Amino acid sequence: MSRVDAHHHIWDLTVREQSWMAGPEMDPIRRSFSIDDLAPQAAAADITATVLVQTVGLVDETVEFLEVAASNDLVAGVVGWVDLAAPDVADALTGLQARPDGSYLKGIRHQVHDEPDVDWLLRPDVQRGLAAVADAGLVYDLLTKPPHLPAAIETVRALPGLTFVVDHISKPAIGDPLDPWATDLRQLAALPNVTCKLSGMVTEASWTDWKPSDLQPYADVVLDAFGPDRVMFGSDWPVCLLAATYADVVQAAETLTANLTPPEREAVFTSTATRTYNL
């Protein structure tokens, strides 16, 4: 069965630094990673298409990623970055989509979880930017932590014409109590224009001794709240390498979804991402 990895990154440290990569604990991934590094691991896991996701707040990176997608059969779509708060955000989106490789732009993301204001999404200028993303026919990836979920709920409710995708199940700390994260995530899932990535969990658990059973309660909340047809697998490679190999992450996702029916697993591993991102 061909499968989609709906969330991974690449970066070239000779082009720019990754400012989020601070501290000695990041040493295992403090090197450049290219799509050629991912390709054999994806092939071994029967991954035939991927979504390449932004890592920094620069349009230049988005342009580079579109060029990668246009020149590589593995990358089927790009989630890029524009300044949502800028007055010319609509023009920026139009410019990206007008490029020869602009059809690979499927969504936009911002590092909301790094914003000190947990209500950043509710700022009027940001809301105007999100409306421009909807007008452009693109998806918006929500990169949040649990404290940002109330604002995310209000934002998703306010913009029913925009499809949202929750990255990394909103990054609950694995091992902490499920609530309030679970209650807020269920409120978010009750809104029809949002889906969720089953991704990023291994790096929210103990990097050295996590096991799938640690992740299962959180995955169960996601699958129950959204339903498999609104859940998609993502590896979060190469960030996942801090805690697990690519094969480990794929195997964990298979374990977490083992109780699903074959059509439900097909949704998680292929059709939800294909439909949501129009791959």
Average pLDDT over residues 212-223: 97
CA–CA distance from 192 to each of 23, 88, 147, 163 (Å)?
A: 39, 29, 22, 9
Where is 275: in which H helix or E strand? helix 272-276
Q: Provide the mean pLDDT of the chain.
A: 97
In the chain, count H helices and then E strands.
10, 8
The whole-angstrom separation of Cα 102 and Cα 100 is 6
Q: Which helix (H) or strand (E) holds 40?
A: helix 35-44
Residues in the chain: 279
pTM of structure? 0.96
Check whether the bond before 172 is cis (ω within 30° of 0). Answer: no
CA distance 21 to 25: 9
Mean pLDDT of 262-275: 98
pLDDT band at 6 (very low <50, low <70, confident <90, very high): very high
pLDDT score at 128: 97
| Average pLDDT, integer, range 260-277 | 98
In tens, the pLDDT along 140-165 reads: 999 999 999 999 999 999 999 999 99
Phi, psi (rounded to 5 degrees) for 277:
-95, 5
Q: So what's the pLDDT on residue 2? A: 84
In which element (H, E) is residue 183 found? helix 181-189
pLDDT at 114 over 90: no
Secondary structure of residue 93 in the 3-state scheme = helix
pLDDT score at 1: 65
At residue 69, does pLDDT exceed 80?
Answer: yes
What b/e sequence results for 4-15 when a residue is b if at least 16 CB atoms lie within 10 Å of its CB, and e otherwise?
A: bbbbbbbbeeee
Q: Name every residue whose Cβ is closer than 8 Å to that of residue 134 and which is 6 or more positions away in sequence.
A: 140, 159, 161, 162
The one-letter code for the residue type at 183 is T
Residue 203, number of CB atoms within 10 A of its CB: 20
What pLDDT is stored for residue 139 in this prediction?
Answer: 98
Burial track 62-83 (b if 16+ CB lie within 10 A, e otherwise): bbbbbebbeebebbbbbbbbbb
217-237: average pLDDT:
98
